[in-house]
């Protein structure tokens, strides 16, 4: 839908490029608009690890609409009632954390799709159909492929069950959560450790081989030579802090 710029996001990937984005954790909608105006292909609105309320998420999604930047929202947990209000905002994608099995992946997909497509999503049309402007049939056609259902792999149990997760119908993308993933091996943030590297590369290789979109939070040089369809490069606060420190150092 034009409302969330998913087609533009896909066009970057279809052209063989990596879509680049940032993570938004601040309540100020101007920072979302700024991210889009600076040229990011997507913005990951973090509803899991931030002080954002659902009204803040709505304002950030709306601010991105005018920029051409696709809106992703990471929900707090893989449960239906937390996904419902986010889905009604019509983001380009929803990131669902800590999915560790095929059954958990199935539940995530079901929460994001309507019963006609094998899901459990409930109707509450508002922003998604242009406040009644879009005919129901046209809207339902969009919902067969929107939003992207993005499964986050961030635990060693998910790595062990990656084949059944990738085989789950309706999984559109995998998101690597490197810090929680490394922590589950007892080596938080250690991307020089062979076991952590092997786990990340296994998920990468199997996801790419399955023809599923691959993305994640990818700050730092570790990710430079590792292809992903989409990469979140920094958080809003992290980028601002880095810029401030460089300014002060001068």
Distance CA 245, CA 250 (A): 9
- Torsion sign, CA atoms 191, 197, 202, 205: positive
Phi, psi dihedrals of residue 118, rounded to the nearest 5°: 85, 15
Tokens of 214: 């691959």
| CA distances for 117 relative to 113, 128, 140, 160, 181, angstroms | 6, 18, 10, 29, 32
Helix or strand (DSSP H, E) at 240: helix 236-249
Which residues form the catalytic set? 49
């Amino acid at each position: 839908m034009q409302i969330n710029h998913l087609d533009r996001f896909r066009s970057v990937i279809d052209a063989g490029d990596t879509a680049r984005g940032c993570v938004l954790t601040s309540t100020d909608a101007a920072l979302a608009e700024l991210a889009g105006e600076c040229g990011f292909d997507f913005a990951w609105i973090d509803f899991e690890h931030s002080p954002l309320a659902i009204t803040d998420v709505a304002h950030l999604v709306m601010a991105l609409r005018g920029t051409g930047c696709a809106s992703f929202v990471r929900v707090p947990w893989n449960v239906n009632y937390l996904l419902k209000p986010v889905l009604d905002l019509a983001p380009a994608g929803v990131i669902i954390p800590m999915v560790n099995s095929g059954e958990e992946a199935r539940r995530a997909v079901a929460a994001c799709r309507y019963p006609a497509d094998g899901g459990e999503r409930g109707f509450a049309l508002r922003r998604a159909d242009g406040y009644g402007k879009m005919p129901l049939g046209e809207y339902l056609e969009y919902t067969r492929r929107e939003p992207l259902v993005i499964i986050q792999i961030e635990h060693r149990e998910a790595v062990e069950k990656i084949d059944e997760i990738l085989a789950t119908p309706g999984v559109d993308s995998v998101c690597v959560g490197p810090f929680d993933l490394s922590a589950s091996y007892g080596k938080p943030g250690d991307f020089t450790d062979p076991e952590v590297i092997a786990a990340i590369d296994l998920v990468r290789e199997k996801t790419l081989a399955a023809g599923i979109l691959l993305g994640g939070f990818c700050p730092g040089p570790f990710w430079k030579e590792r292809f992903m369809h989409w990469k979140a490069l920094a958080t809003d606060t992290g980028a601002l802090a880095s810029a401030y420190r460089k300014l002060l150092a001068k």
